[in-house]
Amino acid sequence: MRELDILNIIGNTLDDSSYLGDDCAYLNDLGLYVTHDTLVEDIHFSLYTTDFYNLGRKAVSVNLSDLAAALSQPLYITVSLSVPKKINYASINELYRGINDVCNEHNVKVIGGDVTGSEKVMISVCAIGKKISDFNISRSYARKDYSIIIAGESGSSSAGLYALMNFLYCNESLKNAHINPKAFVKEALQAAKNINTDVAAMDTSDGLMDALYKIAVASKHSIHLDFSKIPINPEVIKFSEHNNLDYKDFVFWGGEDYSLVIILPDEALASLNSNSFITIGRVLNKDNNPAVFVDYGSHTEKITADVFEKKSFNHFYTQEKIN
Amino acid sequence: MRELDILNIIGNTLDDSSYLGDDCAYLNDLGLYVTHDTLVEDIHFSLYTTDFYNLGRKAVSVNLSDLAAALSQPLYITVSLSVPKKINYASINELYRGINDVCNEHNVKVIGGDVTGSEKVMISVCAIGKKISDFNISRSYARKDYSIIIAGESGSSSAGLYALMNFLYCNESLKNAHINPKAFVKEALQAAKNINTDVAAMDTSDGLMDALYKIAVASKHSIHLDFSKIPINPEVIKFSEHNNLDYKDFVFWGGEDYSLVIILPDEALASLNSNSFITIGRVLNKDNNPAVFVDYGSHTEKITADVFEKKSFNHFYTQEKIN
């Protein structure tokens, strides 16, 4: 069973599916963005590889990252927690300490939720953010000659996860990238305040290539990517070399970095004027079958629908093999 | 591990827990109510006793009932679904057909959510409602001589669940009360529009006595309940007699009826002027150790903290024994 097929069923079953599709829903009448993501034990995380404090942080951060992808101001979250009997009170205290800390860092309030029993730990977070930009954000807004900028690294989280799942040594920075990912909220707010025109934006929760290719398709424009410009933690390369892996697989196809990608015209880039973002590429011509061209200097690789379909990140049973 | 203890941990861990405690959180700056409840397989439901269509309906209804308990207008929901591989596409289609139908009945829009894998079916719904009343609602607003009114039956759902779990025959109306409970949204909106003073309100998701006793404690007033006035499905009595059970246990301590209790002054009751509500009791004197006095005509039973503690509904591992 594939996530995409299920999402299609949902879209076809609902009378109004107009809100679905982006990282979060925009409620025009309220000026609010809403997102709702769940972390399930042995799918999104394993109690063998994370602690409850960081689990609480991550459950919130992945949702704040969705709000950041809409360049919105996070305000409130609800938390629905399901836990087996084996979990003790101290663990729940640690979980909520993590939730509390990351919320404080971004001035977000925990307003409710519920707690129930379950066989596996499950944390469902709904996050509400406020639209503070006077322009619009959509995956379909990439246009010819727009610059592609990113805040955050690519590949660190998936390399860290690979190490954790296969009991391999890696630098702490990679494990931390997976266990306690950063939501680029401050960078998103900076963009919301300084940009003055419609832009495309997305987080890399399902991988860098996923974000770029989905924007290319939604905008019907091809994309040129300068590989040498992509922020990559040198430890990703070191780890890959030590284990005979291709580090580009982590950089392009690994998920859960939660870096922030924005695609915008040069004047907007100038008014943004931020050191938090790196320019990694440029939008090419309009194209009904768009591709992402990865320029390695020596040669260029073309990513099209068939390649994307084969390699793209599947959120479905990620960490099952651990048990 | 008890739900209450976990909720205490949460309250103590968060820097600001002021939003927690009621059925839903009120966001004063936005004029919105938010609630977030999750249904977990073999805790809140069993795939042996429900079908996916009704499961979808119930997952939405239990959240709409929380918004109804705030006399608010439901607007939007997000749905986070976790499903094991064994579930096929047809089941997911049925689930969302149920979600879609109950949303249409109340003009609610499904605006987002996510889908992930899991070992058990889990449906987490976050619901957003709008404050439409020009008065306030809180469990602590019950005052001397206020009338206690209720829309909906008590005991039907838990009697139906008991029959389902123990493979006992019962009338369909009891099973339906458990499998497809009604959220009293229309009755709540009617109250919001016609009442003009602060009232206490709550749904009976955790049982009739739970609602009355919690309001009594929050308001520091004792309550007089006229047992003969409580709307009870005769099938609850019939089922209990056939199986040598005390039907009062279902009526008072059984959960998931989602009936709507409002406690209000007589002038507000007059302006409400609705046939949907039945008057079942009256608020007594102020009391720092309040009790609920159940008047059976022949005699009166006094429900105090110790009785409540012993008998109150535990949402934690409800349906585990099925597996």
pLDDT tens-digit readout, A152-177: 999 999 999 999 999 999 999 999 99
Q: Residue A255 to residues A176, A309, B39: CA-CA distances in angstroms?
A: 14, 15, 28
Q: What pLDDT does B224 receive?
A: 98
A250's CB contacts (< 8 A; 6+ apart) are: A154, A155, A156, A158, A159, A162, A236, A240
Whether A78 and B126 lie within 8 Å, measured CB to CB: yes
Task: Annotate B26-48 with DSSP letters as a single string.
Answer: EETTTTEEEEEEEEEBTTTB-TT
Band of pLDDT at residue A10, cut at 50, 70 and 90: confident
How far is residue B49 from each of residues B122, B259, B315, measured CA to CA in Å? 15, 22, 18
Residue positions counted in chain B: 323
Q: Is A220 left (phi over 0), alpha (psi -120 to 50) or beta?
A: left
Closest-approach residue (CA) in chain B for A26: B111
CB neighbourhood size of B319 (10 A): 19
Under an 8 A CB cutoff, do B13 and A93 touch? yes
CATH superfamily placement of domain B24-131: PurM-like, N-terminal domain (3.30.1330.10)
At residue A1, the pLDDT reads 63
CB contact under 8 A, B115 and A7: yes
Chain A, 144-163: which have a CB under 8 Å from a chain B CB?
Answer: none
Asked if the Cβ–Cβ distance from B316 to A9 is below 8 Å, we say: no
- Digit-coded pLDDT (tens) for B172-185: 999 999 999 999 99
**Interface contact flag, A104 B15, Cβ < 8 Å:** yes
Torsion angles phi and psi, residue B36, rounded to 5: -150, 105
Q: Which helix (H) or strand (E) holds A133?
A: none
- pLDDT at res. B5: 79
CA-based nearest residue in chain A for residue B15:
A100
Instruction: Give me the amino acid identity at A166.
Output: N
Say yes or no for a CB contact (<8 Å) between A38 and B93: no
For chain B, how far is it from start to end, CA to CA, in angstroms? 20
- From B89's Cα to the closest Cα of chain A, the distance in A is 7
Is B320's Cβ below 8 Å from some Cβ in A? yes
φ, ψ of residue A10 to 5 degrees: the values are -60, -50
* Residue A232: CB atoms within 10 Å: 20
- Is the Cβ of B9 closer than 8 Å to some Cβ of chain A? yes
* A37 chain-B contacts, CB cut-off 8 A: 80, 114
For B293, list phi and psi in degrees, rounded to 5: -95, 115
Lowest mean pLDDT among A65-79, B11-25, B35-49, B62-76: B11-25
Mean pLDDT in residue range B127-155:
96
Asked if A112 lies within 8 A of B14 by C-beta distance, the reply is: no
Say whether pLDDT at A314 is over 70.
no
In the predicted model, what is the mean pLDDT of chain B?
92
Of A112, A116, A320, the CB nearest to B25: A112
pLDDT for the residue numbered B148: 98
For the domain made up of A147-311, give the CATH fold.
Phosphoribosyl-aminoimidazole Synthetase; Chain A, domain 2 (3.90.650)
Chain segment A90-105, per-residue pLDDT in tens: 999 999 999 999 999 9
> How does residue A312 score in pLDDT terms, banded at 50, 70 and 90?
confident
Q: B85 to chain A: which residues are within 8 Å by CB? A: 1, 317
B47 close to A (CB below 8 A): no
- Phi, psi for B159 (deg, rounded to 5): -65, -40
CATH 3.90.650.10 in chain A is located at 147-311
Kindly indicate whether the ipTM for this predicted assembly is greater than 0.90, answering yes or no: no
Domain with CATH 3.30.1330.10 in chain B: 24-131
**A vs B: CB pairs below 8 A:** 206
In chain A, alpha helices (H): 3-13, 52-68, 89-105, 156-165, 172-179, 185-194, 208-219, 234-242, 247-253, 266-272, 305-311
> Strand, helix or coil at B318?
coil
Query: Which DSSP symbol is given to B137?
Result: B
